[in-house]
């Protein structure tokens, strides 16, 4: 009997061991599936990111090259300054377009007829006139001389040589067969080349795609972000320090905390309406200025900075406070010399996240008028300006195909801004972490 009972017990133990082994194998399979799900999710994310960047870069990389045409310009004094006074007013009002026409007529003397002459002039950007004017204003010795200068070709010509316009029949492209023949002649003479597109990085917006640049929008975004940072960072950090370290815990502070959390979820266009009604309507601040844009974005970013700063302060171990108080430090000294430096890496991370959101915002800037067409480069916070997201919006909505190329390139510039900001945040985090 004893042997039989022992035999049954052994069978029961064997069944329990088999069951445990089966459950263990099932758990391992589940863990492998979970790991596979994670790898799949990461792979899908990377694929989507790669597809996005590939799409943007495939449209943007051509911006680095610009088709230019060499013109042999004779700076005729009779056309530029017939009186010989060299006065600025006279030089600005000179007919520089006639110099371009004379150069084209000299290069293609057989072209006749008003329509053909107009088609020949379309090969040259309309902004070439202003480039020649600027050259004369900077160097008066050019007057009376002949010099070969390189000017931007028209946007249709640029798109054609970049392969972004159809090379089929005339019905499928913006330039006709005569213009193609003239361009071939310029290529054979060495008067047409692809050169680095310095205009895109050194000029502001323009009605002509080949003359449009990103510098104005980049400077406007930089000024706007600086004002946003100067206002949002100290106000947000000081508010978080007070609420977390000094404020009494009662219904009023609870109400303030709830409202701060609610403000972080308010749509950005609401802040734009606030800026339109208060800053522009009540205080009559300059419209379409980085100053107004920076204040509006600071109001939008402030709740995010406060929330992240409070979370960073809460993450500091209570032992740090207790040790500092134990050696006789005041509450203010504990906060300034111990708690705040330890929390600074987290505070900087939250601030950079808020700044990155502000950099990509368009709706509030549209409400305060930063959607205006601005050609000049802003030199101060009160000058009219636009921002990179708004500039991308305007170019993407333009009918000319060449503006789509510039919109994609502007996205690359915007991403470069974000990468630079994140790199700065990483360096600052490491600096503070090494200190402690």
Residues 125 and 243 in one domain: no
Q: β-strands 146-152, 192-196: how paired?
A: unpaired
With tokens 């007919």, the residue in question is 95
> Is the same domain home to 251 and 373?
yes
- For the chain, the domain total comes to 3
Quick one: tokens of 10?
């052994």
Residue 210 belongs to some domain of the structure:
no
Residue 121 and residue 177 in one domain: yes
Q: Give 129-135's long-range contacts (Cβ < 8 A, gap of 24+).
A: 129/96, 129/97, 129/100, 130/96, 132/73, 132/96, 132/99, 132/100, 133/91, 133/92, 133/94, 133/96
pLDDT range class, residue 14, cuts 50, 70, 90: low
Average pLDDT, the chain: 87
* CATH number of the CATH domain containing 333: 1.10.3720.10
Please check whether residues 95 and 118 belong to one and the same domain: yes
Residues 6+ apart with CB under 8 A from 410: 214, 217, 388, 391, 392, 395
Residue 186 lies in a domain: yes
Q: Is the pLDDT of residue 227 over 80?
A: yes
Q: Give a yes or no: residue 209 inside a domain.
A: no
CB distance 210 to 66 below 8 Å? yes
**Among the listed residues 277, 414, 286, 273, the one whose alpha carbon sits nearest the alpha carbon of residue 356:** 414
Q: Are residues 53 and 70 in the same domain?
A: no
Residues 93 and 144 placed together within one structural domain of the fold = yes
Q: Which residue has the tokens 């195909």?
A: 401
Confidence grade of residue 8 (pLDDT, cut at 50, 70, 90): very low
pTM: 0.83
Work out the average pLDDT over 231-248: 91
Tokens describing residue 229: 């940072």
Is residue 290 a contact partner of residue 223, using CB atoms and an 8 Å limit? yes
Asked whether residue 168 falls in the same domain as residue 19, the answer is no
Question: How many helices (H) does the chain have, and how many strands (E)?
Answer: 19, 3
- 384 and 308 in a single domain? The answer is yes
**Residue 411: which domain range?**
215-435
What is the number of other CB atoms lying within 10 angstroms of the CB of residue 312? Answer: 23
pLDDT 10s digits, 103-162 = 999 999 988 888 998 999 999 998 889 989 999 999 888 888 999 999 999 988 998 888
């Amino acid at each position: 009997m004893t042997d039989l009972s022992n035999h049954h017990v052994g069978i029961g133990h064997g069944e329990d061991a088999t069951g445990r082994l089966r459950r263990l194998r099932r758990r391992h399979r589940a863990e492998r599936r979970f790991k596979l799900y994670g790898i799949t999710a990461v792979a899908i994310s990377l694929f989507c990111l790669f597809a996005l960047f590939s799409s943007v870069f495939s449209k943007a990389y051509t911006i680095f090259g610009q088709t230019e045409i060499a013109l042999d310009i004779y700076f005729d004094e009779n056309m530029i300054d017939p009186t010989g006074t060299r006065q600025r007013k006279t030089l600005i009002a000179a007919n520089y377009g006639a110099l371009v026409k004379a150069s084209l007529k000299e290069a293609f003397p057989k072209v006749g007829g008003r329509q053909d002459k107009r088609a020949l002039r379309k090969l040259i950007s309309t902004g070439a006139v202003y480039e020649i004017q600027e050259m004369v204003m900077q160097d008066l010795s050019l007057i009376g001389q002949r010099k070969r200068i390189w000017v931007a070709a028209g946007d249709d010509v640029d798109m054609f040589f970049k392969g972004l316009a159809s090379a089929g029949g005339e019905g499928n492209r913006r330039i006709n067969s005569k213009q193609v023949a003239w361009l071939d002649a310029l290529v054979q003479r060495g008067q047409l080349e692809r050169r680095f597109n310095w205009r895109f990085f050194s000029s502001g917006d323009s009605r002509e795609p080949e003359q449009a640049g990103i510098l104005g929008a980049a400077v406007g975004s930089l000024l706007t972000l600086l004002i946003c940072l100067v206002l949002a960072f100290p106000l947000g950090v000081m508010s978080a320090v007070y609420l977390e370290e000094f404020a009494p815990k009662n219904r009023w502070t609870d109400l303030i905390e709830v409202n701060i959390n609610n403000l972080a979820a308010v749509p950005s266009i609401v802040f734009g309406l606030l800026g339109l009604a208060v800053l522009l309507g009540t205080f009559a601040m300059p419209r379409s200025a980085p100053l107004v844009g920076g204040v509006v974005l600071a109001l939008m970013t402030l709740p995010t900075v406060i929330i992240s700063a409070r979370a960073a302060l809460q993450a500091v171990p209570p032992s740090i406070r207790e040790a500092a108080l134990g050696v006789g430090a005041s509450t203010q000294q504990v906060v300034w010399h111990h708690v705040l430096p330890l929390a600074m890496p987290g505070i900087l991370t939250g601030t950079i996240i808020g700044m990155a959101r502000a950099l990509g915002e368009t709706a509030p800037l549209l409400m305060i008028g930063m959607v205006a067409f601005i050609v000049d480069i802003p030199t101060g916070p009160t000058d009219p300006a636009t921002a990179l997201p708004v500039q991308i919006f305007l170019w993407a909505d333009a009918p000319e195909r060449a503006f789509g190329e510039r919109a994609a390139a502007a996205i690359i510039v915007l991403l470069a801004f974000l990468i630079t900001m994140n790199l700065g945040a990483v360096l600052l985090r490491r600096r503070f972490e090494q200190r402690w």
